[in-house]
């Protein structure tokens, strides 16, 4: 039984590679093999080396077929629970992962299936193989009695993952070639049955999956979105109803929430922060100060604009306080920005 959970881009798994570097993993597969799957009544212990290895094999089989982060920004977790076992559950989890990912709306490039191949041989004491038979879709008894467990997974176009265990001193290239050729034929037949159930990924993710909006901002504006001590981004999160915002160094911004209106509010606030003021832009601005020489209005990005009395029109004669009050809204157009960043505006009819 394979299940899929979709999370925000920031839910990635941090793993350490062989060179002690942290790697952000956005797709990961967990494989569980409880004792009851083979009729044992033992207690369920922690994850063992075998389960970790099988999970990683199935993970590697699917990785090349996953969409890019730009196309599908979700973090993806697949869990395969073996409910019963009479053969290769690792290759069964590859097939289950493919169907569950497609059912969850993950746009896989191509479906993946897998099969385990076995081998029975007659051989000399020095390891020379005198006679052999390759077995398709290895069963538990054949695995125990046989000389090889060769797992092969891939698409109809090619192989994406293999794993070979053998009890022999070595295998000939002819046997390896025969095994891979028959394995590809075998998993393609399995795939045909899989695609009868679900021929293509679903068009959309499930209703319980979070919605994600992707936007690109100028990397130099990231610090403005975050603010001092995170005050700006925390305000965006609070005002927009608890969205999750993930910012990357290249300016990619991912906004995640169950409610689309909350995402839209966060997008609006971020867009306002990262958009530079330009001459010709028009705003509905709030009056903050009224002086004899003009009116000050509040503009986006915490900027103030001065509308000089000459830009108000002839009908507004002094004192201006007779015509304008602090807190009133006025439509203005930016008419100039000097070298110091001071903004001049004119009243728009």
Helices (H) and strands (E) in the chain, counts: 7, 17
pLDDT of residue 301: 74
pLDDT of residue 252: 93
Tally of CB atoms within 10 A around 242: 12
pLDDT of residue 130: 87
Nearest to 103 by CA among 31, 195, 212: 195
pLDDT of residue 333: 92
pLDDT of residue 275: 81
Q: Where are the beta strands (DSSP E) in the chain?
A: 2-7, 13-16, 22-25, 27-32, 75-81, 113-123, 129-135, 148-154, 159-166, 211-216, 244-247, 252-257, 282-290, 294-299, 303-308, 329-337, 343-347
Left if phi > 0, otherwise alpha if psi is -120 to 50, otherwise beta: which for 127? Answer: left
Residues of the chain with pLDDT under 70: none
Domains of the chain are 2-197 (3.30.230.70), 211-274 (3.30.1370.10), 282-347 (2.40.50.140)
* 179 alpha carbon, distance to own chain's centre: 35
Kindly compute the dihedral angle of the four CA atoms of residues 176, 178, 180, 186, in this order, to the nearest 10 degrees: -150
Torsions phi, psi for 184 (to 5 deg): -65, -40
pLDDT of residue 3: 96
pLDDT of residue 81: 92
Q: Say which residues have a Cβ less than 8 Å from residue 2's Cβ, sequence separation at least 6.
A: 78, 79, 80, 81, 93, 96, 97, 99, 100
Q: Say which residues have a Cβ less than 8 Å from residue 278's Cβ, sequence separation at least 6.
A: 334, 337
For the whole prediction, is pTM greater than 0.75?
yes
What distance in Å separates the CA atoms of residue 284 and residue 330, rounded to the nearest whole number? 6
């Amino acid at each position: 039984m394979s299940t899929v959970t979709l999370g925000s881009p920031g839910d990635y798994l941090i793993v350490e590679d062989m060179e002690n570097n942290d790697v952000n993993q956005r797709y990961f597969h967990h494989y569980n093999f409880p004792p009851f799957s083979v009729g044992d009544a033992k207690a369920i212990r922690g994850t063992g080396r075998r389960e970790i290895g099988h999970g990683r094999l199935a993970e590697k089989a699917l990785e090349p077929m996953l969409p890019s982060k730009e196309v599908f920004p979700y973090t993806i977790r697949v869990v395969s629970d073996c409910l019963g076992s009479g053969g290769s559950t690792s290759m069964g989890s590859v097939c289950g992962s493919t169907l569950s990912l497609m059912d969850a709306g993950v746009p896989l490039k191509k479906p993946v299936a897998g099969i385990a191949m076995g081998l029975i041989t007659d051989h000399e004491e020095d390891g020379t193989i005198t006679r052999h038979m390759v077995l398709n879709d290895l069963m538990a008894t054949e695995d125990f009695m046989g000389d090889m467990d060769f797992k092969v997974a891939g698409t109809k176009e090619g192989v994406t993952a293999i794993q070979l265990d053998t009890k022999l001193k070595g295998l000939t290239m002819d046997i390896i070639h025969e095994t891979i050729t028959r394995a590809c034929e075998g998993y393609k037949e399995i795939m045909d049955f899989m695609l009868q159930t679900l021929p293509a990924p679903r068009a959309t993710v499930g209703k319980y999956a979070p919605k994600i909006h992707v936007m690109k901002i100028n990397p130099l504006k990231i610090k403005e979105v975050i603010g001092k001590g995170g005050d700006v981004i925390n305000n965006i999160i609070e005002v927009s109803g608890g969205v999750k915002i993930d910012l990357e160094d290249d300016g990619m911004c991912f906004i995640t929430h169950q409610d689309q209106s909350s995402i839209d509010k966060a997008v609006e606030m971020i867009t306002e922060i990262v958009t530079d003021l330009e001459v010709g832009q028009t705003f509905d601005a709030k009056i903050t100060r009224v002086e004899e020489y003009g009116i000050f209005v509040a503009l986006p990005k915490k900027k103030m604009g001065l509308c000089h009395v000459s830009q108000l029109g002839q009908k507004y004669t002094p004192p201006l306080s007779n015509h304008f009050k602090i807190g009133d809204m006025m439509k203005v157009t930016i008419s100039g920005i000097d070298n110091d960043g001071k903004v001049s505006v004119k009243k728009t009819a």
